[in-house]
């Protein structure tokens, strides 16, 4: 832009006109710069909003998928649990006038496959043991020291040892013995050796509350129990059944009891 001559007649007008043109150019440049900045900011802001919307939509879709998967898994687990629960049934067995126990089982054809025993009054005093095929079980009442046998039809049989006859012919009954001596161990821990033979621990034939313990054995239903004379100990614990027989730990040494009452190492 040419600078007006100071000697010109129209110098002042020319100067004003020149200043006006400069002002217009400056305003136009500022406007253009401002417009560019505004458009850039608007685009970035719009892009951020779109990204946030897309991200939120993706998150919602993921959450919905997760929720649907969790609901499907929950329904599937609930369905499986319901099917399993429907398979488990219960029978109530009256062991005596003061003792009823609830036994869980599953059906296999016409046979009951037993699971567990529940005593709603005092479960801590009731114990059970299943035979190897789980088609019958022993129920032991710690309070009375009695043993009950339940067969695959759910019928119970009292197989307790009710009396002991000493060498001189004196008869000692289970009921009177534990009534007069509450610490006496008449019978405890009945276990199956095989499908129909059982063992239990007792102080008998020793009639005092202290001293060694003995292992008694017999066949279910015969009520003829004998004790193993050559093995006794202050601490006897039955363990698992294997090919040798029922493992038993007598004073920290392990032996095996066979179905006919023999004890081997």
Residue 35 has pLDDT above 60, yes or no: yes
pLDDT at 122: 57
| Rounded CA separation 21/4 (Å) | 13
Instruction: Average the pLDDT over 55-71 and give the result.
Output: 62
CB atoms within 10 A of CB 116: 13
pLDDT at 126 over 70: yes
- Of 2-6, 55-59, 90-94, 221-225, least confident by mean pLDDT is 2-6
Global pTM value: 0.67
Q: What CA–CA distance (Å, rounded) separates 251 from 130? A: 25
Hey, which of 20-29, 35-44, 158-167 has the most confident mean pLDDT?
158-167
Query: Model confidence over 193-241: pLDDT tens digits?
Result: 999 999 999 999 999 888 899 999 999 988 899 999 989 999 999 999 9
pLDDT band at 34 (very low <50, low <70, confident <90, very high): low
Per-residue confidence band for 56, with pLDDT thresholds at 50, 70 and 90: low
Q: Tokens 């499908």 appear where?
A: 195
Average pLDDT rounded to a whole number, residues 152-178: 93
Sheet strand arrangement including 99-108: 89-96, 99-108, 111-118
Pairing of strands 126-130, 111-118: unpaired
Beta bridge partners of 9: none
Q: Measured between alpha carbons, how far is 120 from 189 in angstroms, rounded to an integer? A: 21
Q: How confident is the model at residue 131 (pLDDT cuts 50, 70, 90)?
A: very high
Count the alpha carbons within 13 Å of 80 in the hemisphere toward its beta carbon.
Answer: 5
Find the DSSP H helices in the chain: 11-87, 174-180
Question: What pLDDT shows up at residue 85?
Answer: 55
Q: Which of 246, 205, 196, 249 is nearest to 227 (CA)?
A: 205
């Amino acid at each position: 832009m040419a600078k007006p001559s100071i000697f010109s007649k129209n110098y002042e007008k020319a100067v004003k006109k020149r200043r006006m043109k400069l002002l217009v150019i400056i305003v136009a440049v500022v406007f253009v710069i401002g417009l560019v900045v505004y458009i850039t900011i608007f685009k970035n802001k719009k892009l951020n909003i779109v990204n946030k919307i897309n991200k939120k939509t993706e998150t919602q879709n993921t959450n919905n998928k997760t929720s649907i998967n969790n609901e499907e898994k929950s329904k599937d687990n609930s369905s499986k649990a319901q099917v399993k629960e429907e398979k488990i049934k219960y029978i109530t067995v009256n062991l005596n006038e003061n003792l009823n126990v609830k036994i869980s089982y599953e059906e296999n054809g016409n046979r009951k496959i037993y699971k567990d025993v529940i005593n709603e009054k005092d479960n801590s005093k009731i114990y059970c043991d299943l035979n190897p095929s789980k088609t019958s079980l022993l129920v032991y009442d710690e309070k009375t020291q009695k043993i009950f046998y339940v067969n695959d039809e759910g019928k119970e049989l009292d197989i307790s040892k009710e009396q002991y006859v000493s060498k001189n012919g004196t008869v000692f009954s289970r009921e009177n013995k534990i009534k007069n001596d509450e610490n006496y161990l008449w019978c405890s821990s009945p276990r199956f050796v095989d499908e129909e033979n059982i063992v239990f621990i007792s102080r008998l034939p020793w009639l005092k509350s202290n001293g060694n313990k003995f292992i008694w054995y017999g066949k279910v239903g015969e009520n003829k129990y004998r004790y193993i004379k050559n093995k006794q100990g202050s601490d006897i614990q039955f363990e698992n059944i294997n090919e040798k027989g029922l493992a038993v730990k007598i004073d920290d040494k392990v032996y095996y009891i066979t179905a006919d009452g023999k004890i081997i190492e």
